[in-house]
Structure 1
Amino acid sequence: MTTAPHPIRQPNLSLRKEPAETTPAPVEGTVVKHQGEIVKTNDASWMRSKVAAVGAVKDHAVSNKLYAPWVGRGYKNLARRWVDGFRDDYPQMIRSAKDELKAAKGDTDAEAHAKKTIKDLRTDRREHQKWHAIKSCLWGAAGVAGAATGAVVGGTLIEAAMGAGAYIVGAYHGRPEPEIAAIPELRHQEAPREASLLGEETMRRVLVEAGVVPEKRAEEIRGIGIPRAEGPGTGYTVDLPSGIPASDAIAKAEKIASALGVHKDWTDLAVDRGKGSNASRLKVWMSSEDPFDVVRRSPLLDHSGVINTWRDGAPLVFGKRGNTIWFRIRETSFLVGGATRRGKGVLLANLLLATAKDPRVNVRIFDGKGTGEHNPFAPLLSTFVKKNPERLALASRALIEDMDRRADFLDEHGLDKLTEDLIEQIGGVELFVVDELATYTPKGTSPFADEITENLSQLAAVGLALGIILVDLTQVPEVDVIRGRLRQNHTGRAAMNTESAMASNTILGDGMAGAGHDASKIPLDQPGRTVLATPDTGVVAARSFMVEPEEKRVVAAEAIEIRREAGRLPGQWQDPIEAKLLAWTGVSSAAGGERGNGRITRVDLLERLEILAKSTGRGNVTNAEVFAAFAATDPARYGRKDGETDAGWAGRVGKVIRDQIEAAGVELEVKRVPAADGKRGQGYLLEDITAARNG
């Protein structure tokens, strides 16, 4: 990477018509025939021209004081060029990278990328300067050695020749630059049909063509820094002429993309709100290919340990630039909609991966589809229910009643909203998920539809300050499914592909499709593509990270252990919501109920043991696993008492279960069986349980 030693200048060009054909004038002077024979004319003008040329040279030298001023200027120019070569473009590139770092404040991925860029540029600069100095020293040493040799060996004549040479070199590099007229402006340039390289000249043409800047003010557009690599594309920042806000350019994003020769989805425009910026500073990003035509795995699949979803959030999706977009589990209720099989479940899976590993979050899921999609998370879910409108009405009612307790708690602490340091004291953050509103909210679907809609609306409106986060999903984005008040109270929205612009507006808000945010235009071959709108991100295009079913089980297994160590698995803590549900219905829905799959029905002891033994995949179930599962659904009977030791709790619960087996009149022996960690402990074999049931 080097800079040109001289500015590149272009000659003046002009176009003229050829003159009409006339009789050629006689040729004077010396003419060379085709065969090479010289024919002399009688004209001696060639002698006069030589004399004139010598006189002109003499006059030029005298008028310029024998070029003495040129010599000093020449060596000054050479010194400046050496310094420019030593510094190269690195200071400007480092300043641009620092500006990028300031602008990326709050975006972890972008900040890390900018810091790495600054570090790499500084390393490259040191290497460049080292070799530049080495080469300069070598050439300098060679020159000094040659001059010394000539002075010692060659005598006065050689010294005079070297002095004259040095004088000529200085004069040559100090000669005045010739005046060159400006090149006439070329108008009506045709935009390239492929991705343009971003730069000041390109952006002048693009912003004029898009109608953002009048042509007469194009020269006022100024580039800030240099184009820089950002993810799969290139970023550049420009200042628009005064009086033209950057928001005017954003409103014409489609035309700007067309002028750049790409699709709108391949570009990103934003007002630069960094330090020292202004309302006319525009950040431009573009890619030469579709940035969402790629599948990315969730970063949580390679993560281990606890996640702070209150402070850091959950990595749900990635943006155009390949950046991870995080959703913080605080102060934002979330509405997700789109056509069937368009990626809503994958987005929710990413949310569950993160919140499962944050033991302070009480995750409650009401699944209106009834599939096994969320089963891997069942053992850690505070509430898990499938296709049961009555229980959703009761659970939302219980949570609304619990809001009074939470409000009193904040009142005692003199706060108007929950803060992170009080999460554990208030009982954790509530994540209340309704996966498929169409099962529960349309009028006529059940006697509880109106109550469910009203309860969810209250939770979305009032619960945020109290640490209650509502997440609603639907594949039927219609107004009778997402009624007005319920929709209005969701401050976060995500729209996957929809059947129409009207359906897109139902999710994102009225007028959003007309403003360029139309989810019905999302390509069908990119499931997980979404238009995301949250207070933290604004309205952005994104795509969900990919999560396979087996990958859910791996992360859920780690999350279960995290919660077990924190004492936050169902049955390990006093859950006021499930306590109410158990009192009202006589059955618990913690960890998916007695069957562990969200279908809340009563089962007998042996059937439940059989379900547990099958769920381990080992053909057995340990006493520890039985005790934990029973405590989750009936903590009053099987849960740990205050002050009870591990051994005391296991002995008491074990006796209760043995008494029930004996009362059932069956024989079922406790045997040593392999546990999940490979060790052996007491428990039951699946074949023994099945035989006892069938006997």
Structure 2
Amino acid sequence: MTADMYTGRAPWGQDLRGDAMTLSLLQRHLLITGLSNQGKTAALRALALWLALDATVEFRIADLKGIGDWHMFADLATVLIEGPTDDHACAATHMLEAGVEEMERRLAAVDPETHKNGVTRDLARAGKGFHPLVLIVDEAQQAFMNPAVGEDKRPYGGQTNKSRYFMAARKLHNQGRAVNVTLWQGTQNPTDQNLPKLVREGAHIRASLVVGTESEARMALGDKAVNAGAAPQELRQGLDKGTLLVAGDGVPLPPQQAAITVRTHFIDGEDATTIADRAKTLRTRTTTRTTDSDTPARDLLADLAQVMGTEPKTRNEILRSRLAELDPDTYEGMSATDFAERLAEHGIASYKAHGGVMTTRRSEIDRAITERDETGGE
């Protein structure tokens, strides 16, 4: 069995009449909300498992619950973050920021003369860097509520233009679809604090399991769907587990209806692992980057000295590329912001060379190594 994001539809469950409900996922951002333990992760994972059978699709996943619900995507996703701490939420933010950088690379690479129809199915399958990239954050409220603050004094969480997670999600929503980069989020009990208005309204497909109040229903599905009669707050907690209301682009809505009720297929952990294993046989082996490792942490300064060699200065984007080649598990996907923060931790200042390109001097690396050795720092 295989899947095709461009021509296929994901089998998600049955409607109230018992008819199969399938969903088009092509270039659509997705949001699923609901109370805890009502089937949110299972509903989100079911769509990802179908899409995994399209061997061209790349997944980067942050499971901010971290109890193994997404562990079958190890060696399938290129990034798999599993854990509930603030550090895991920071890693999820870094994942989204790297997704923004990939989106911007693709936008710059689109040639309006050559790609007159945008990112077509043929282009997505041509191995030219426009394959579907799906970023999944489960328990996204952890990222929005993250109290950590970066070296640049910007908060990781929050709902302002200073919030790193919020701004990365907004940028992906604004332009990602056009170049096959999409964001899927699952979150509990939506509020303005853990699911800001601009982010929830950026999703093409919005679905809600049972929620507590009508105001939460409006946050989950939008005013239009609720005004037209959608009422996820009337679902019965526990009894209607796995049942949700879904609205938006790509949803096969009956005439004159703004939402449809779906009882989603339940795929347990063992069956999910079987499907994921099947997906792995369809593609080349993937090395998954995680936030946990039994191996010692890399020495960034030593690695920088190694990849710079005898060059007196090197552009930061080249340094990041060389570091990723040196140790993909540690450095691949590191964004320009992440790199700048790592340098700042060691007191290394980059500068803008000709053309505004950020560049680092070898003398700065040597100085940082000497100071660390003299003080006995790590």
Question: What is the CA-CA distance between 1:451 and the residue it aligns to?
Answer: 0.5
Per-residue deviation, 1:515: 2.6
TM superposition shift of 1:542: 0.7
Distance 1:534 1:638 in 2: 38
Instruction: Choose the corresponding residue for 1:559, options 255, 279, 303.
Output: 279
The two structures, once aligned, show a CA RMSD in angstroms of: 2.3
| CA spacing shift, 1:426–1:634, aligned 2, 3 Å | closer
Q: Aligned residue for 2:269?
A: 549
* Superposed counterparts of 1:244-263, under 5 Å: none
Counterparts of 1:170-181 in structure 2, within 5 Å, are none
**For the structure 1 residues 547 and 327, does the alpha-carbon distance in structure 2 shift closer, same or farther, using more than 3 Å as the test?**
same
- Secondary structure of 2:81's partner? strand
- Which runs of structure 2 are paired with 1:436-585 in the superposition (5 Å)? 436-442=139-145, 444=147, 447-449=155-157, 450-510=163-223, 512-524=225-237, 525-536=239-250, 537-538=252-253, 539-563=259-283, 567=284, 569-571=285-287
Which residue identity lines up with residue 508 of structure 1 in the other structure? L
C-alpha contact 2:68 2:82 (8 A) present in aligned 1: no
Answer yes or no: is 1:414 the counterpart of 2:110: no
4+ residue runs over 6 A deviation: none
- 1:495 Cα shift? 0.5
Query: How far apart are 1:496 and its partner, in Å?
Result: 0.3
Distance 2:82 2:146 in 1: 19
Question: Corresponding residue for 1:239?
Answer: none
Percent identical pairs in the alignment equals 21
Counterpart secondary structure, 2:59: strand
CA distance in 2, matches of 1:533, 1:351: 16
How many residues align? The count is 280
How far off its partner does 1:511 sit?
Answer: 5.2
Bigger Rg, structure 1 or 2: 1
Counterparts of 1:434 and 1:475, CA distance in 2:
12
Task: Measure how far apart 1:601 and its partner are.
Answer: 3.7
Unaligned runs of 5+ residues in structure 2 are 150-154, 158-162, 254-258, 298-322, 330-378
The residue correspondences of 1:21-420 to structure 2 (distance < 5 A) are: 305-387=1-83, 388-412=88-112, 413-415=114-116, 417-420=118-121
Counterpart of 1:506 in structure 2: which amino acid?
M
Residue type matched to 2:271 in 1? E
SS of residue matched to 1:380: coil
Q: 1:411 to 1:336 in 2, by over 3 A?
A: same
Distance 2:168 2:100 in 1: 7
Please tell me whether the aligned partners of residues 10 and 47 of structure 2 are also in contact (alpha carbons under 8 angstroms): yes
In 2 relative to 1, CA 445–543 (structure 1 residues): closer, same or farther, beyond 3 Å? Answer: farther
Q: What is the match of residue 683 of structure 1?
A: none
Measure how far apart 1:523 and its partner are: 2.5
Deviation at 1:500, TM superposition (A): 0.8
| Structure 1 pair 474–507 and aligned structure 2 pair: CA distance change class (3 A) | same
Conservation of the 8 A alpha-carbon contact between 1:306 and 1:357:
yes
Distance in 2, Cα, partners of 1:402 & 1:410: 13
Q: Which amino acid aligns with 2:245?
A: V
Report if the CA contact (8 A) 1:333-1:491 is conserved: yes
1:386 CA drift (Å): 2.2
CA drift of 1:548 comes to: 1.3
Measured after TM superposition, the shift of residue 445 of structure 1 is: 5.9
2:306 maps to: none
Larger RCO of the pair (alpha carbons < 8 Å, separation 6+): 2
SS in 2 for 1:379: coil
Look up the equivalent residue of 2:91 and give its one-letter code: R
Structure 1: state its 5+ residue gaps: 1-304, 572-590, 606-632, 640-695
Contact 1:443 1:480 in 2 (8 A): no
Q: Secondary structure of 1:322's match? A: coil
Shift of 1:602: 5.0
Q: Distance in 2 between matches of 1:511 and 1:371?
A: 36
| Pairwise CA distance, 1:559 | 1.1
Structure 2 Cα separation of the partners of residues 445 and 501 of structure 1: 31
Aligned-partner residue type, residue 535 of structure 1: D
The offset of 1:508, in angstroms, is 0.4
Is contact 1:409–1:426 with CA below 8 Å preserved after alignment?
A: no
Query: Could you tell me how far apart the structure 1 residues matched to 2:30 and 2:184 are?
Result: 5
Distance in 2 (alpha carbons) for counterparts of 1:428 and 1:414: 14
Counterpart in 2 of 1:16? none
The superposition leaves residues 139-185 of structure 1 with CA deviations (integer Å, 9 ceiling, x where unpaired) of xxxxxxxxxxxxxxxxxxxxxxxxxxxxxxxxxxxxxxxxxxxxxxx
Q: Secondary structure at the match of 2:119?
A: coil
